[in-house]
Amino acid sequence: MGGVLDTVMADRVELPFVGLDPQLGGLSRDQLSHLLRRLGFGATKSEIDQAISVGATAGSLVNGLLDDAENAAHPTPPQWRNTYGGEGEVKDIRIREYRYDWLNEMVNGNGVREKLALFWHTHFTTEFRVYGQPAYTYRYLKLVREQCLGNYKDFVRLIGLTPAMVRYLDSNLNTASSPNENYARELCELFTMGRLDQNGDPNYTEQDVIEIARALTGYQVNFDTIETIFDGFLFDSGQKTFLGRTGYFDYNDVIDVIFEEREREIALRICDKIYRYYLYEVPNSAVVSAMADTIIASNWELRPVIEQLLISRHFLQEKAWGGRIKNPIEYLVGMLRETGFQIVENGLEGTYRRVYEAARDLTMDLFNPPDVSGWPADRAWLSTSLLTKRWEVATYLLSGPFYGDVPDQNLVPWAKEVSPDHTSAAETVSAANSYLFPRAVDNDTAESLLAAFKLSIPDEEFDGGYWNLNRPEAPDQMRSYSLSVFILPEYQLT
């Protein structure tokens, strides 16, 4: 796979604990780039330059980005949001276009919010292939965007009543006369406390799941309003006992009891997942414990604990740079954002159809995670077959005419933007490298990228001062260089 990935793919240990206290003072360019890459989908030149120009600190940068994420306008709702899609082509067209819309928001909208939404999508998992209605998908993603920085306990309460979740985990089949335990089980195992505590002891019993399921009975999706409703005739009103508590519990009581009786376990589990998503595959236990303290103290507010991690010295330490493997969406959306290219043919049908298809081929099919546990993470994305597929995908997106239906990409405008010297191939490549990689590449890699950029143009063209980015060969040079970048092991990291 290459030296860099060999190191990353080897068994890893947790990052050194250098303090969860805030990083004070100004940030280096590398630290700013690291923050921007991890919060969103890549770091563009304009974002980095803006942060440098205002002398951003970790606190001011993260606070501003999270404010923007909370206050950003939501995309225009689809016209079909309050109608059923029926079967076959109509339904397929709607969900396909909604996927393209989401990718467009990742690239051109508020990337911080959309990256949070992607995180919660793989935590509160639903599968379109199971519930099958685009109107459900719209309500699900709308809630995820609204709650992505909100209160976690409220989030758990609300997500379980979305039509997508009700149908996905069979809550609509859970009645007093015929209980169904699917949602009760995943509520405990995946959405809140997890199966085992820190000592390896069970957090709940099978009987707890049975009793919780009884308390969750009575919910259906109304066909006319496409909203979840409570039907008292289907509710088990009897006494239930779970997690050491007994009462005539209902849906809201279940959430309250779980968060009261398994407070620490829930806090540790969600903070562990936040840490893995934003920082590193192997969580530092001391950091996760401190984050758990924060989310409990804030009464389950998500923003304080996310902000605490992102502005910390622990998060910004150099050992963390380039330490996470990009998932396919991060890889593809980052590629578009960082270099600015778009396949303009047919608008959304051009760029985002092909990006969606590429992500799907890399086994990350939006709105269709593989199962209820969501997508895998980090090293799972870079099996030998998937790494080879990334090379094929990059070739497809950058060198479309080879495949017959995608226009050549012209990345010269981006090269001119990032390079201070339009007449030096070495300066152009060096400047581009500084924006595309999470840490400096070694000399051999830099030389190979320069060679890819030069193509077969004679050296005297460069040495004699005859070459510049306005030459007719420049678009081919930038495609060759960019393809070499996108298939490098170093570019798979963030």
How confident is the model at residue 424, as a pLDDT?
93
| Positions of the chain with pLDDT lower than 70, given as ranges | 1-11, 342-350, 399-409
Q: How far is CA 161 from each of CA 192, 226, 256, 475, 485, rounded to the nearest angstrom?
A: 16, 12, 15, 51, 44
Beta-carbon count within 10 A of 129 CB: 12
| pLDDT computed for residue 152 by the predictor | 98
User: Which pLDDT score, from 0 to 100, does residue 384 have?
Assistant: 84
Q: Are strands 227-230 and 240-242 parallel, antiparallel or unpaired?
A: unpaired
Q: What is the pLDDT of residue 92?
A: 92
Q: Which two tokens stand for residue 343?
A: 């396949």
Give strand pairing partners of 151: 301
For residue 243, give the 3-state DSSP assignment.
coil
Helix count and strand count (H, E) for the chain: 25, 4
Contact criterion met (CB below 8 Å) for 149 and 248: no
Give the pLDDT score at 364.
96
For residue range 9-36, what is the model confidence (pLDDT) as tens digits?
566 788 998 889 999 999 999 999 999 9
Query: What's the pLDDT score for residue 406?
Result: 46
> Beta 219-222 vs 227-230: how paired, if at all?
antiparallel
pLDDT tens-place string over residues 390-419:
988 888 887 654 334 445 567 899 999 999
CA angle 46, 5, 431 (to 5 degrees): 30
3-state SS class at 202: strand
- Residue written as tokens 């998937």? 386
Cα–Cα separations (whole angstroms), residue 225 to 12, 126, 165, 221: 50, 20, 16, 8
> For 173, how many CA atoms within 13 A lie in the half-sphere containing its CB?
10
Determine how many CB atoms are found less than 10 A away from the CB of residue 357: 14
